[in-house]
Every structure is written in C-alpha cells, then in structure tokens.
C-alpha cells in the first residue's frame, strides 16, 4: 500500500492549489486524478476570475463582499465570503508571479478587468477568453517544479475511514492496468469538481460527475444546499457549450424574436449584467411566452466590431461558428439557459474541513463552504477554487502536523470495492448505464430546471427513485482491464443518481424562491422559514434532510433587484 501525509483527489484548480499549499507547508502530498491534470474542467473556464484590484475604477474588498452576499440571495456565509474577497488580490498576484499571463490594460500595463454579472465594478481579471486554461497550466508547472507525486488516470472509488470514523485514505481503480489500489493518508482533500452532468445539455465536461460528493455521502458526510443548480444564460442550443458571460461583459446584448432588448424589462439597471439567475429566468420567460426563436433568444455582439471580438472573444467566435454555424461578427448567436454550475457540495467549514469527519477536507466545486449561497456570481468560482484550495491545503498540512501517527488503514479497505467491481463485471444481462444516465439527465433538465413546482418535482423524484432501482441491475458490456470507460461511466452514473436524489429532495422541501431555486408555486423568498442551509444525508439509501445556520456578519437581507 502506498501512503502519503495528505492525498488530494482531483487535479483541477482546487486540487493543484491545495497540493501546492500542502507541499509548501512541508508535508508529503500526492495528487490522484482520473484525468491528466490539464484536462480538468477548470481548463474550460473562459471569462475570468474576480478580485477587487481596482485597476479600472475604484473598487474594494467590501464591494466585492457585498456583491457576492447579494448575488447569493443572502444564504452565502458572510464570514466565508469575507475571506474569499480579502484573499482574492493576493491569489491573483501569486498566480501572476507563478507565470499566469493575464490580459493587460494598454496604457498602464496593469492587469485588465472586465465587468461581469451582478458586480458593481469591473472586477474580473482574464486571459482573453481562456482564463481557466492559463491558470490550470500555470498551477501544473508549479506542481511539476515541486515534483508532487501524481497518480494520473486513477479513478478514486471510495473514501477509507478507520474504526473511529477518521478519513485515512482512498481506494482507486488504476484505469491503465485495471487494478484496485489503496492509498493511505493522514488527511484527504477532495477536489473532484462539479456535478453538471446530472443534466443534459450541460456546459460541464463529461467527467464532471460529482464523484467526491457521492463518496462522502455514502460515508455519512452530509452534502449542503444540493437544490441550487445554476443555469447559465448563454449556452449553445446544439450541445450546451458555454458562451462566456464575458461576451455580455464586453457589451453584448440579448434580443428576442422582435429584436427587443428584453432585459430592460427584467433588470432596468444592470440589464444583461444582472445576476445569472435573473437573466436565465428572463430568457426562459421570453421563450415560454412565445418571443423566442426555436427555443432560443439571440446574443448580439455585432456592434462590438471585428477587432474587439477577435482580441477579447476569439474562442467564442470559433465555438459559435463550429457549433451554431453563426459568425458573431456578422450575425447574432442563438442561445438559451443551460445547466452550468452546482452551488451545493460536501459540507465543509471555512478551512475546507468536514465537521462530520476528522481528516476529511474538500475544496472547489465539489465542496460547499458556502460562498455562493443560492446563486454564484460569474468569476467567483475560479477564485473559490484557488482561495479555498489553498486554505484546504494549509489546513490539511496543519492537521497532519498535529496528528502525526500513521493512519490506521483497515487491512480490507479495498475488499468491498473489489467485490463491487467484480460483481459488476460478472453480470452479463441488464440495463446499460448510458440509458440510465440519459434518462436521468433528461428528467432533471425537464423537471428540475430554471422554474420548478412541487407537483413536477414530485414526478422527478419518482423517476429518480425508479432509476436508482433499475441501476441495481446495470450491466457493463466491456469486460476488459485497460481503459474500461464503460466501467468508469457506470461508477460515475451511480454517483449521479445519488446526487440527483439529494437535489430533487432538497428542492421539494424548500418551499420558497431564492437564487437559482425558483418555484412557481412559492414565488417569494421566505427569510423567516428558509434562511438556512439544507444538509442531505443518505440513510439506508433514502435521502434525509436536516438544516444548518447561515453565518451573518454585517449585511442584512434586502430585496434583491438589479
């Protein structure tokens, strides 16, 4: 068995930032990742990363904090949001010193900042429309420089605990050799990214299947605020590919079929740069009321001109040409709201530590601190990944320094995983995972979307329950040992089903409208009864809900308008 002081699962922004922080704190840390690190979904992030540098106009961390609290529709934890915004400039400069090439102001040479949705000031630092890719590669070079051991293309299947319920390592399936391996550790940091693939279409990579959430849930660790799934206002109809908010930040308009700039009606002050939940609802309403075109509205960039589009949004132009057959220099792009970002995740504190399991930490999109509450602001998630990635890395190192005894990894840690996989491979009749996955994603899209209602959510719950039952007889056709993606997708589908159940169950219970959770049968925010986080547990396969308090510092809830 291999052992390390800290094992970090996931090598996107959050995982690599955590590993770098733990390494710098002097502990032996390793990364385990099902993808090569630079294939992580962070690399698809386009628009940018927020920090109140004040390079374009005056700005402050207080402004950033307030915008985030308001964007979250007041159930983000205000102490955590203060930490996020205060550390933001330091992390940007740190990334820059490590070599991240941000776009610059022409005259001063300072880091340029673009306006983004829900933000009172231009605060989003960017590298053209390839920000995530630039930061991901930067962190990878630091990991290589530090020689951090990395188990690439190892799919982590389970979290390992000792007899006292402490996290002491993980079990992983080595995808190249088809073997099952145990890695012991004094602390485990989960950083496996989002669960956007519960839906289709989705802006998320195929690998964004919420694995850490599923593993934690099965070990009794609660997930927080699972009902809040963000729909991004501008995704391409053909395949859900994202068109960055930066397109509206640069001045793009949204038009309906009559050529009206409809956001004047829904958000008269911020228009297209209102918060994402507000813009997505406006688009959905226009489309439902018959003012869309083929289920879409139009994103018009023509007035920005060729030069600006080519300089600031080159990737968006390529994507629009490839997947919508539209060159935004000459015609508007048809777009619609699409599943994009999951606000919920493994319940952790402001250091990324899971209060229900000593030794377990989580960071990035798989975690819920919570800084995004009911609705995340664009540009705050790359930021969360680096800030709370770093903090989880630091905290896990400190934990290891306090708990220096060797981890008590049970000798049969991998046996249950081994048996589960052997059983799966032995079955030669049954339903294929792809059928279940597609049906699940369709029902979530149709019934747990931008607008929700009790009866329709009830139908979704019944389908999800039935799909979980049918999954008991799933068959893996590929019996091979090398790169058995059929097997990997089956394990992922198991996680997706559990997470979908938490999302639907939490959404049924929350009888109010807040942020991304918008109920047509309970249209108002209800602070008296619902100013609280949802916690989901899995008891004998059934989702059970509990609630926890929202941390308030100095921001009183207000009516949220843009």
Asked if 385 touches ligand FAD (CB under 6 A), the answer is: yes
Residue 180 pairs in a beta bridge with: 173
Q: Are 223 and 356 in contact (CB under 8 A)?
A: no
Residue with tokens 């058995």: 484
370 binds ligand FAD (CB under 6 A): no
- Concatenate the DSSP letters of all residues of 285-348 into one string: HHHHTT-SBTTBEEEE-GGGHHHHHHHH-HHHHHHHHHHHS--TTTSPEEEEEEEEEE--EEE-
x/- map, 418-447, ligand FAD, by CB under 6 A: ------------------------------
58, burial (CB in 10 Å: exposed 0-12, middle 13-18, buried 19+) = exposed
For residues 478 and 465, what is the distance between their CA atoms, to the nearest angstrom? 26
380 lines the binding site for ligand FAD (CB under 6 A): yes
Q: Judged by CB under 6 A, does residue 192 bind ligand FAD?
A: yes
Give 212-240 as a DSSP string.
HHHHHHHTTPPEE-TT-EEEEEEEETTT-
Give yes or no: 232 in active site.
yes
Instruction: Determine which one of 87, 200, 232, 510 is catalytic.
Output: 232
User: What count of other Cβ atoms lies within 10 Å of the Cβ of residue 469?
Assistant: 11
In the bound complex, what is the minimum distance in angstroms from residue 530's beta carbon to ligand FAD?
Answer: 25
- The residue from 71, 169, 194, 292 that contacts ligand FAD (CB under 6 A) is 194
Query: Contact region for ligand FAD (CB under 6 A) — 250-258, 379-387, 478-486, 513-521?
Result: 379-387
Query: How many binding residues for ligand FAD (CB under 6 A)?
Result: 46
Stretch of 181-189, 207-215, 289-297, 327-335 contacting ligand FAD, by CB under 6 A? 207-215
* Pick 414 or 456: Cβ nearer ligand FAD: 414
Runs of H (alpha helix) within 403-539: 415-426, 433-447, 454-470, 485-509, 527-530
Instruction: For residue 11, state whether it binds ligand FAD (rule: CB under 6 A).
Output: yes
Instruction: Figure out which of the listed residues 6, 80, 95, 156 binds ligand FAD, where binding follows CB under 6 A.
Output: 156
What are the tokens at 241? 């590919």
Least Å distance, CB 212 to ligand FAD, is 7
Among 208, 234, 256, 493, binds ligand FAD (CB under 6 A): 208
Among 67, 77, 211, 272, binds ligand FAD (CB under 6 A): 211
Rg of the chain over all Cα atoms, to the nearest angstrom? 22
Q: Does 41 bind ligand FAD (CB under 6 A)?
A: yes
Q: Please identify which residue in the block is written with the tokens 């289709």.
A: 200
333-352 residues in contact with ligand FAD (CB under 6 A) are 341
CA distance 234 to 238: 12
Using CB under 6 A as the binding rule, whether residue 230 contacts ligand FAD is answered as: no
Question: Residue 432 corresponds to which tokens in the numbers above?
Answer: 């294929």
Binding site for ligand FAD (CB under 6 A): 9-15, 32-35, 37, 40-42, 44-49, 131-132, 155-156, 191-194, 203-204, 207-208, 211, 242, 244, 341, 364-366, 378-382, 385
Active site residues: 232, 248
């Amino acid at each position: 068995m291999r052992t390390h002081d800290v094992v970090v699962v996931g090598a996107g922004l959050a995982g690599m930032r955590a590993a770098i922080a733990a390494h710098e704190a002097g502990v032996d840390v390793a990364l385990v990742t099902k993808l090569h690190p630079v294939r992580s979904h962070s690399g698809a992030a386009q628009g940018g990363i927020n920090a109140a540098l004040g390079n374009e106009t005056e700005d402050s961390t207080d402004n950033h904090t307030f915008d985030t609290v308001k964007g979250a529709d007041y159930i983000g934890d205000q102490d955590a949001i203060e930490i996020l915004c205060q550390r933001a400039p330091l992390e940007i400069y740190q990334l820059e010193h490590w070599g991240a090439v941000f776009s610059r102001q022409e005259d001063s040479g300072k880091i340029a900042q673009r306006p983004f949705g829900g933000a009172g000031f231009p605060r989003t630092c960017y590298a053209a429309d390839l920000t995530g890719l630039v930061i991901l590669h930067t962190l990878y070079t630091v990991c290589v420089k530090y020689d951090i051991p990395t188990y690439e293309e190892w799919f982590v299947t389970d979290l390992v605990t000792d007899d006292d319920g402490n996290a002491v390592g993980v079990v992983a399936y080595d995808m190249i050799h088809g073997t099952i391996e145990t890695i012991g550790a004094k602390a485990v940091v989960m950083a496996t990214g989002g669960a956007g693939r519960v839906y289709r279409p989705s802006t998320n990579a195929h690998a964004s299947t919420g694995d850490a959430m599923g593993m934690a849930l099965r070990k009794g660790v609660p997930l927080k605020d699972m009902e809040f799934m963000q729909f991004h206002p501008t995704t391409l109809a053909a395949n859900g590919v994202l068109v960055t908010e930066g397109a509206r930040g640069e001045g793009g308009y949204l038009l309906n079929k009559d050529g009206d700039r409809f956001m004047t009606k829904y958000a008269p002050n911020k228009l297209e740069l209102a918060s994402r939940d507000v813009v997505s609802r406006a688009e959905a309403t226009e489309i439902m009321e018959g003012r869309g075109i083929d289920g879409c509205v139009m994103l018009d960039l023509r007035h920005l001109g060729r030069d600006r589009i080519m300089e600031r949004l080159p990737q968006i132009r390529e994507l629009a040409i490839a997947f919508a057959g539209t060159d935004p220099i000459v015609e508007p792009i048809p777009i619609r709201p699409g599943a994009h970002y999951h606000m919920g995740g493994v319940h952790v504190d402001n250091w990324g530590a899971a209060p229900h399991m000593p030794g377990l930490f989580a960071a990035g999109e798989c975690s819920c601190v919570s800084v995004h509450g009911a609705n995340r602001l664009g540009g705050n998630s790359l930021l969360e990944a680096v800030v709370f990635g770093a903090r989880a890395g630091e905290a896990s190192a400190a934990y290891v320094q306090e708990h220096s005894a060797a981890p008590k990894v049970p000798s049969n840690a991998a046996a249950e995983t081994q048996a589960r996989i052997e059983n799966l491979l032995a079955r030669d009749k049954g339903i294929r995972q792809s059928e279940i996955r597609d049906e699940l994603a369709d029902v979530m899209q149709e019934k747990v979307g931008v607008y929700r209602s009790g009866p329709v959510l009830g139908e979704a719950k019944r389908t999800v329950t039935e799909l979980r039952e049918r999954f008991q007889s799933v068959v893996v056709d590929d019996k091979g040992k090398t790169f058995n993606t059929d097997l990997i997708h089956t394990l992922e589908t198991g996680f997706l089903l559990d997470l979908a159940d938490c999302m639907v169950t939490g959404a049924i219970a929350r009888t109010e409208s807040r942020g991304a959770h918008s109920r047509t049968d309970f249209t108002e925010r209800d602070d008296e009864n619902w100013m609280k986080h949802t916690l989901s547990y899995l008891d004998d396969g059934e989702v059970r809900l509990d609630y926890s308090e929202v941390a308030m510092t100095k921001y009183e809830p207000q009516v949220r308008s843009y």
